[in-house]
Amino acid sequence: MSPFSQKAFIITFLFLSTITVAQTREISGSILASESVEGIHVINRTSYRYSTTDTNGVFKIQAKLSDTLYFSSVQYIPKIIIVSSKMIKNNSIKVQLEDSVTALNEVTVGNILTGDLNSDINNSNSERPLNFYDLGIPGYTGLRKTQIENRLDEADAGRFIYWGIPTPQFNLWKILNRFTGRTKRLIRDVKTEKTRTILTHIKEVVGPELFKYYDLPENLKSEFYYSCTDDENFHIRCTNRSDVEILQFLEEKLIEFKINISSEN
């Protein structure tokens, strides 16, 4: 068998295996806990599907092999499980949840003004608005991922092998994406998107501040900005950095840029 035929055989095998093993299907499950099991949130973090338990703690959710399921409720500790081949075969998932013990903060009776704004606000009679923690649903307070970042997470989620008894389970979806180069393309696309976002911020916010103190012909500014992105330290120096730190980086690059322009002329 020629190298090309071998490669084609491997791709075909992985593709057919993925269709067979990683096909999404509806899986039934039940929650075991010490108290009420109704209204517990079940989220498939891989495919972004959602379900809740009934009065008996029973739920149904669309999932496939190696998907990540997240269980959340205000009275229980959140739990994460990975869908195994046994769960797929038996079409059944049983999840044991542990009670969540919440320690109460020390309570001060009466309004005591200390002069510290944060302390006085906390001791006031004003009520804060409800949030997702109060309602017992999962929430996220950080920066939301872009569509491309979500695609990368979906393509490269989990480990390559989940060791189990009697046999280990291979994450064929992740292997296939790595083998075909899809993961590599998505990583490149994520980096390109981040570069574009940072560059937009530089052009609109930091760059105008730079050119209040340094001269550069208008027709060379775009070239200068893109030369900054070619620097191997661009993302290190500009990602999640303050405007002051980015400005310092731009000043260094502007000196280099002017030297290069002078030498070309």
Sheet holding 25-32, edge to edge: 58-63, 25-32, 92-96
| Per-residue pLDDT tens digits for 88-139 | 888 889 999 988 765 444 544 555 555 554 555 565 555 556 555 566 665 5
Residues 6+ apart with CB under 8 A from 33: 57, 76, 96, 97, 98, 99
- CA terminus-to-terminus distance, the chain: 59
| Per-residue pLDDT tens digits for 138-188 | 555 556 777 888 888 888 888 888 777 777 788 888 898 899 999 999 999
> According to the model, what pLDDT value does residue 139 have?
58
> According to the model, what pLDDT value does residue 32 have?
92
Beta-bridge partner residues of 32: 96
229 confidence band (pLDDT: 50, 70, 90): very high
> According to the model, what pLDDT value does residue 20 have?
43
**CATH 2.60.40.1120 residue spans of the chain:** 3-175
| pTM (two decimals) | 0.45
Q: From 1.10.3720.10, 3.20.20.70, 3.40.228.10, 2.60.40.1120, which CATH number describes the 3-175 domain?
A: 2.60.40.1120
| Per-residue pLDDT tens digits for 210-227 | 999 899 999 999 999 999
